């Protein structure tokens, strides 16, 4: 049997190569013919119309391409479109929900031939996305297929591998009249990774730059809109960081959110969005809560808030229905809270309510210095005007030495309990502005307060200096006891006309004051005169006849038995307050059956005189508790 000569091998190889080359040439010709036929059958204008029709059918919204459209088939199907727009919902405030300068799609040709639309990448440049809600549960990003032209065939599966956006702006508005919040996306990349997507972005929120990274659900699941979409994101800027972990609704559940949220702020510049109010927020701030959003409502559950190391717990709700005003309500509690120059507050309970033009803290209760306080605060927020504050506060059985300890320094008081009642209406943006416009009444009473050590050593303690100056020379001053002290301030536009509504009593003497305290000017002018209590072996002639206390509130000056005492007393308002300087001598008569100086000061009439001399009825925000 003869075999094929080996020399025929190279010839056979050449013949196979020639046939392969011819086949490739034929394939190239066929592809070129197909491409030519495709270009003839589907020119860019017709392709743009078909694409617009497909998107409109899938979203139920009009879609148009106002600029150029290009198509490439190899190695993938590449579509690039300029000046793209997607219509808004019929009830939306703007005609278009989305406008983009350029949108590019890269679609896998191999997967497309097998019936799957695999979008390998979407590139968006210069887009503006307007998100909005009508406040009644409708969201413009909730879309539904139009249903027209359905052939009954199953829609092809669509997957998205990568999304990139640059120079893009997203805005959100709650209703037509709501405030518009704008977010600028400098760059954003979301890429599929296993069963989730990795997200990285650089953002600007009203000129404040943030970095964002984390994981989300698959991008194609977001497009399908059939389930909740998981989120695990972290954001940071100079002086602040935030985190969110949970899920948001898609498709028919669009607008819903259920996530654990945390926010940490170390520097005030991170709160620039709050404007001037940022300076009022105690820092550092640390906030943790479970945030739930449903149609028309935001709810913060299991909230933990730390401000400057002080902790609050509670819950909050924000409601914004269609055509209804914005309403915010919160119930807060704190085991303890520190306030400058006050003992630590404890057992704090407060309900906060806000709606346009009105802020309320009602009810408000807390424990202070071993006593209990309750009250309410109403704030009227007026456009282009200072807030008006209505305050009602009642504090009972506060320990005087605990109140003193909060001031720091040496201890001068021992024992005793104090009560405070205040009913005031004020207008202003600062504490002193509020005090300078205060109208109403404040009452402070204290009983059975001991003075430790020698009163003469208390150079800067006003009460102790008064007592020291008024006690007769040679009388014992060790462990002096103040049986009662009363300060009642009937205020009118920040000015309190004092007519024996300030009084102090010891076992030996009683003292009342008349004059004026002006909180607007921060000055006081008071005249004091003591009276011997009956039944005690004390010579009235040894008492100080008259003492004046005048000057700025921060550092008033005492003068004892000054020349022209009667004239000076009249000058500080004693004559006007008492009907004449002649009333100074008998003003503290303590004959049998007469009320004591403290009782007179505590129970004098409480109606506020008007500038016309008529009495104005006072507003009662809460029942005035009886003194105990």
Q: What is the mean pLDDT of residues 298-306?
A: 94
Note whether 204 and 63 are same-domain residues: yes
Tell me the two tokens of residue 507.
Answer: 């076992």
Q: Could you tell me where the beta strands, DSSP code E, fall in 338-432?
A: 345-355, 358-368, 371-380, 388-399, 413-414, 417-427
pLDDT tens for 528-558 read: 877 777 544 555 555 556 778 888 988 888 7
With 80 as the cut, is the pLDDT of residue 222 above it? no
Q: Is residue 433 part of a domain?
A: yes
Q: Bridge-partner residues for 482, per DSSP?
A: 449, 506
Q: Is residue 436 part of a domain?
A: yes
Q: What is the mean pLDDT of residues 20-25?
A: 64
CA torsion 297→298→303→305, rounded to 10°?
Answer: -130
Note whether 219 and 352 are same-domain residues: no
Q: What is the largest CA-CA distance in the chain?
A: 159
Residue 49 burial class via C-beta count within 10 angstroms: exposed 0-12, middle 13-18, buried 19 and up: middle
Q: CB of 353 within 8 A of CB of 376?
A: no
Helix (H), strand (E) counts: the chain = 10, 32
Q: Work out the pLDDT band at 604, boundaries 50, 70, 90.
A: low
With 50 as the cut, is the pLDDT of residue 620 above it? no
Give CA–CA dist 305/94, Å, rounded.
38
Mean predicted lDDT score pLDDT of the chain? 78
Residue 526 burial class via C-beta count within 10 angstroms: exposed 0-12, middle 13-18, buried 19 and up: buried
Note whether 509 and 446 are same-domain residues: no
Helix (H, G, I), strand (E, B) or coil at 183: strand
With 70 as the cut, is the pLDDT of residue 196 above it? yes
Q: Bridge-partner residues for 450, per DSSP?
A: 414, 481
pLDDT tens for 130-189 read: 988 876 778 888 777 665 544 455 556 678 899 999 999 998 887 766 667 888 999 999
pLDDT tens for 393-427 read: 999 999 988 888 877 666 677 889 999 999 999 99
Give me the residue label for tokens 């269609």. Answer: 322
Q: Specify the pLDDT at position 247.
A: 94
Q: Is residue 255 part of a domain?
A: yes
Note whether 67 and 180 are same-domain residues: yes
Q: Specify the pLDDT at position 406.
A: 78
Residue 160 dihedral angles phi and psi, to the nearest 5°:
-130, 120
Last residue of one domain, picked from the residues 398, 432, 452: 452
Q: Is residue 368 part of a domain?
A: yes
CA torsion 90→95→101→105, rounded to 10°?
Answer: 10
Q: Is residue 355 part of a domain?
A: yes
Range of lowest pLDDT (121-125, 152-156, 197-201, 352-356): 152-156
Q: Work out the pLDDT band at 455, boundaries 50, 70, 90.
A: very low
Note whether 64 and 167 are same-domain residues: yes
Give CA–CA dist 156/162, Å, rounded.
19
516: containing domain:
481-580
With 90 as the cut, is the pLDDT of residue 614 above it? no
pLDDT tens for 496-540 read: 999 889 998 887 778 888 899 999 999 999 888 777 775 445 555
Tell me the two tokens of residue 394.
Answer: 């009642």
Q: CB of 601 within 8 A of CB of 514?
A: no
Give CA–CA dist 525/570, Å, rounded.
10
pLDDT tens for 81-93 read: 899 999 999 888 8
Note whether 575 and 517 are same-domain residues: yes
pLDDT tens for 313-338 read: 999 999 876 556 778 999 999 998 88
Q: Specify the pLDDT at position 574.
A: 46
Q: Is residue 26 part of a domain?
A: no
Tell me the two tokens of residue 535.
Answer: 């039944």
Note whether 118 and 235 are same-domain residues: yes
Give me the residue label for tokens 């599929």. Answer: 192
The structural domain count of the chain equals 3
Note whether 401 and 493 are same-domain residues: no
Give CA–CA dist 460/440, Å, rounded.
29
Give CA–CA dist 70/359, Å, rounded.
57
Q: Measured between alpha carbons, how far is residue 1 from residues 4, 9, 28 in Å?
A: 10, 19, 44
Q: Going by DSSP bridges, is the β-strand pair 116-133/157-160 parallel, antiparallel, or unpaired?
A: parallel
Give CA–CA dist 406/342, Å, rounded.
5
Q: Specify the pLDDT at position 579.
A: 35
Give CA–CA dist 547/525, Å, rounded.
11
Q: Specify the pLDDT at position 622.
A: 38
Note whether 135 and 222 are same-domain residues: yes
Q: Specify the pLDDT at position 43.
A: 63
Note whether 497 and 377 are same-domain residues: no
Q: Is residue 457 part of a domain?
A: no
Q: Specify the pLDDT at position 471.
A: 55
Q: If residue 567 lies in a helix (H) or strand (E), which one and from where to where?
A: helix 565-571
Nearest one of 351, 346, 338 to 366, comparing CA atoms: 346
Look at the alpha carbons of 208, 211, 217, 218 in this order and tell me if their dihedral is positive or negative. positive
Note whether 433 and 523 are same-domain residues: no
Range of lowest pLDDT (123-137, 286-300, 487-501, 584-598): 584-598
Q: Is residue 307 part of a domain?
A: no
Note whether 171 and 237 are same-domain residues: yes
């Amino acid at each position: 049997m003869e075999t094929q000569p080996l020399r025929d091998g190279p010839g056979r190889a050449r013949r196979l190569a020639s046939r392969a080359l011819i086949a490739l040439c034929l394939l190239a010709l066929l592809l070129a013919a197909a491409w030519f036929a495709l270009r003839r059958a589907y020119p860019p204008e017709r392709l743009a119309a078909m694409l617009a029709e497909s998107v409109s059918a899938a979203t139920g919204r009009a879609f148009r391409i106002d600029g150029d459209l290009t198509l490439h088939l190899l190695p993938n199907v590449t579509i690039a479109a300029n000046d793209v727009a997607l219509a808004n919902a019929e009830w939306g405030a703007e005609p278009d929900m989305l406008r983009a300068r350029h949108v590019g799609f890269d679609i896998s040709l191999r997967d497309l031939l097998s019936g799957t639309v695999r979008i390998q990448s979407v590139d968006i440049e210069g887009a503006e996305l307007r998100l909005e809600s009508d406040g009644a549960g409708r969201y413009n990003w909730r879309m539904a297929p139009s249903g027209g032209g359905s052939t009954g065939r199953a829609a092809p599966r669509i997957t998205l591998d990568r999304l990139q956006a640059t120079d893009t702006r997203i805005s959100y508005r709650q209703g037509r009249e709501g405030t518009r919040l704008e977010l600028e996306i400098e760059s954003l990349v979301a890429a599929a990774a296993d069963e989730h997507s990795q997200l990285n972005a650089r953002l600007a929120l009203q000129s404040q730059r943030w970095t964002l990274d984390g994981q989300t659900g698959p991008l194609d699941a977001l497009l399908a809109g059939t389930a909740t979409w998981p989120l695990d994101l972290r954001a940071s800027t100079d002086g602040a960081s935030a985190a969110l972990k949970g899920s948001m609704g898609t498709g028919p559940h669009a607008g819903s959110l259920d996530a654990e949220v945390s926010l940490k702020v170390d520097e005030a510049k991170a709160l620039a969005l709050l404007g001037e109010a940022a300076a009022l927020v105690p820092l550092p701030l640390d906030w943790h809560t479970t945030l739930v959003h449903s149609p028309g409502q935001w709810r913060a559950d299991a909230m933990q808030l730390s401000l400057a190391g002080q902790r609050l717990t509670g819950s909050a709700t924000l409601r914004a229905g269609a055509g209804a005003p914005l309403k915010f309500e919160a119930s807060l509690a704190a085991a303890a809270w520190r306030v400058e120059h006050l003992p630590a507050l404890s057992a704090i309970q407060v309900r906060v309510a806000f709606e346009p033009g009105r802020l309320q803290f009602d009810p408000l209760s807390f424990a202070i210095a071993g006593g209990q306080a309750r009250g309410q605060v109403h704030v009227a927020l007026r456009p282009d005007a200072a807030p008006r504050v209505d305050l009602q506060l009642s504090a009972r059985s506060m320990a005087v030495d605990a109140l003193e300890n909060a001031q720091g320094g040496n201890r001068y008081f021992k024992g005793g309990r104090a009560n405070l009642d205040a009913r005031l209406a004020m207008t202003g943006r600062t504490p002193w502005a509020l005090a300078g416009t205060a109208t109403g009444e404040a009452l402070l009473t204290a009983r059975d307060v001991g003075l430790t050590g020698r009163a003469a050593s208390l150079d800067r303690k006003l009460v102790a200096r008064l007592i020291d100056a008024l006690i007769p020379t040679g009388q014992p001053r060790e462990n002096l006891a103040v049986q009662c002290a009363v300060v009642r301030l009937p205020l009118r536009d920040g000015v309190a006309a004092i007519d024996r509504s300030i009084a102090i009593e010891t076992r030996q003497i009683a003292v009342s004051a008349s004059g004026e305290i002006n909180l607007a000017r921060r000055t006081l002018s008071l005249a004091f005169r003591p009276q011997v209590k009956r039944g005690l072996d004390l010579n009235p002639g040894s008492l100080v006849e008259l003492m004046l206390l005048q000057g700025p509130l921060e550092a008033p000056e005492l003068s004892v038995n000054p020349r022209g005492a009667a004239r000076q007393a009249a000058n500080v308002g004693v004559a006007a307050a008492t009907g004449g300087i002649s009333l100074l001598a008998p003003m503290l008569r303590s004959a049998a059956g007469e009320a004591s100086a403290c009782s007179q000061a505590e129970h004098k009439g409480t109606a506020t005189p008007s500038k016309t001399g008529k009495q104005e009825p006072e507003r009662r925000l809460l029942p005035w508790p009886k003194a105990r």
